[in-house]
Structure 1
Amino acid sequence: MRRTKADADATRKKILNAAERMFYEKGVSNTTLEQVASEAGVTRGAVYWHFDNKTDLFLALYEAVPLPHEDMIARDIETEAFDTLAIVETATGDWLETLARDEQRQRILSIMLRCDYDHAMSAVLAKQREIDERHNAMLELAFSRALERGQLRERWTPASAVRALHWMMMGLCTDWLLFGRSFDLVSEGRETLRRLFSGFRGEATIRPPFSRERGQEEMG
């Protein structure tokens, strides 16, 4: 019987779900595609129909976890009425809230943090770096806009501000995901962001966090 696109999509989703479970429980290096096929209830050939190898499968999982609201940040930082730093702070805090309530996202990020990126998995690391570089370039543009508008303290360069934010977020999420979720990611994360962004701001630009409703009022 002829397979439909819906059938193929359903099979692909089953394989991805099975890979997510196996990678999370056993680790990427300890999981074979044969085990993924068995867990998904499909043949090994079905796995290879959809994915060239384990690296390709892992990349598909990685792409299921987008970075914080890139499109919104890129669009809103060009609007003069908005507080650029507040846009970035709010988008980053919102991403922490998404992570805190999305168990699938938590599992995928945990898999990524535990993965050994030697040998074949080096392609995944290269893809991560490519995505991180694109995201960091967008953030550097945001901090450049803030500097131009007098919102960023001159002791910060856009590049150093991006690095500080990246390192803070990586440390926060790694600690929470790998060491027992022993603190409130949202409340403590937002408070840490507030302190960091207070350090970014010039004295004359300290304002409440950005909201789309407030931004619309300012434009009106």
Structure 2
Amino acid sequence: MRRTKAKAEETRNRILNAAEHVFFEKGVSNATLEDVASAAGVTRGAIYWHFQNKADIFLELYKAVPLPDEDLLRDEIENVGIDILAHIEAVAGDWLDVMASDEQRQRILTILLRCDYTSDLAPVLGRQQEIDDEHTRFLEDAFGKAASRGALSGAWTPSSAARAMRWMIKGLCSEWLLFGRRFDLANEGRQGLSRLFGCFRCEDALVG
């Protein structure tokens, strides 16, 4: 049974890896499940065993690159002694470091930025927005904890801070991926985060 599950997981990952490359080269709208099956070395039946359709595969790729990685934040923000804003900033900076060096993440986000959300992919946009909203709510909770500890400036609400950070990271990555990578994403991104989080901080917290 374990070997069967391991083999099924291997096949699933092979399909996702093949889809990533096919979608990147041909675009999601122009790619077919036959293209993905051929690249993965499997049958269409094997694809349908793991995924409902092309949109389902696309969503799985999308979920692989949340902004920033919640798992890196989740455990630490409950720690009473931690500087939550410093921790969020550090995790966001680490995410940019990974993006700058991880070709897989670069391909997936490039696919997302190029995607035409019409026809059979139209329902995907709604699901993407749901996933984005979940990530934003998590960040709002993290910034809310910072506010409850007196660290977040009164000029910001947890909601506005979470969205500003997401917009900055998405804007940086979009600019970098689509327009020739004309700046150092990791270093300049961290500098931008430092200035943004400086605005987030309560002046009393800075003095203290």
Note whether the superposition's TM-score is higher than 0.5. Answer: yes
Percent identity over paired residues: 60
Structure 2 CA distance for partners of 1:196 and 1:78, relative to 1, 3 Å:
same
In 2, Cα distance between the equivalents of 1:114 and 1:23?
10
Q: Which residue of 2 aligns with 1:186?
A: 186
CA–CA separation in structure 2 for the residues paired with 1:114 and 1:94: 25
Q: Could you say what secondary structure the match of 1:95 adopts?
A: helix
Q: Which amino acid aligns with 1:86?
A: A
129-138 or 19-28, larger mean C-alpha shift: 129-138
Q: Does 1:127 align with 2:161?
A: no
**Aligned-pair CA distance for 1:79:** 2.1
Q: Which residue of 2 aligns with 1:196?
A: 196
Q: Give 2:161's aligned residue.
A: 161
DSSP-derived class of the 1:111 partner: helix
Report the Cα distance in structure 2 between the residues aligned to 1:128 and 1:87, rounded to whole angstroms: 26
User: TM-score, structure 2 length as denominator?
Assistant: 0.90
How big is the shift at 1:155?
Answer: 1.4
CA distance in 1, matches of 2:135, 2:8: 32
Cα separation, 2, equivalents of 1:173 and 1:131: 18
User: Residue 76 of structure 1: SS of its match in structure 2?
Assistant: coil
Alignment of 1:139-158 (within 5 A): 139-158=139-158
Q: How many residues align?
A: 205
Q: Which amino acid aligns with 1:183?
A: F
Between 34-43 and 89-98, report the one with greater CA deviation.
34-43
Q: Deviations over 1:53-109 (max 9, x none)?
A: 111111222222244231342332222211121111111111111111211111111
Amino acid in structure 2 at the alignment position of 1:50: H
Aligned CA distance change for structure 1 residues 14 and 71 (closer, same or farther; 3 Å): closer
Could you list the runs of 5+ residues in structure 1 that have no partner in the other structure? 208-220
Match of 2:64 in 1: 64
Cα deviation, residue 47, structure 1 = 2.0
Greater Cα offset, 150-159 or 188-197: 150-159
Instruction: Out of 70-79 and 23-32, give the one that drifted further.
Output: 70-79
1:1-220 paired onto structure 2 within 5 Å? 4-206=4-206
Residue 133 to residue 52, structure 1, CA distance change in 2 (3 Å): same
Which segment drifts farther, 63-72 or 11-20? 63-72
Residue identity in the other structure for 1:36: V
Structure 1 runs (4+) greater than 6 angstroms displaced = none
RMSD: 1.9
Distance 1:7 1:148, change over 3 A: closer
**Letter of the aligned partner of 2:21 in structure 1?**
R
How far apart, CA to CA, are the structure 2 residues paired with 1:26 and 1:126? Answer: 23
- Tell me which moved more, 62-71 or 110-119: 62-71
Amino acid in the other structure paired with 1:198: G
Secondary structure of the equivalent of 2:75? helix
Given the superposition, is the C-alpha separation of residues 64 and 155 from structure 1 closer, same or farther in structure 2, using an over 3 Å criterion? Answer: closer
Deviation of the 1:168 alpha carbon: 0.8
Q: Calculate the TM-score normalised by the size of structure 1.
A: 0.85
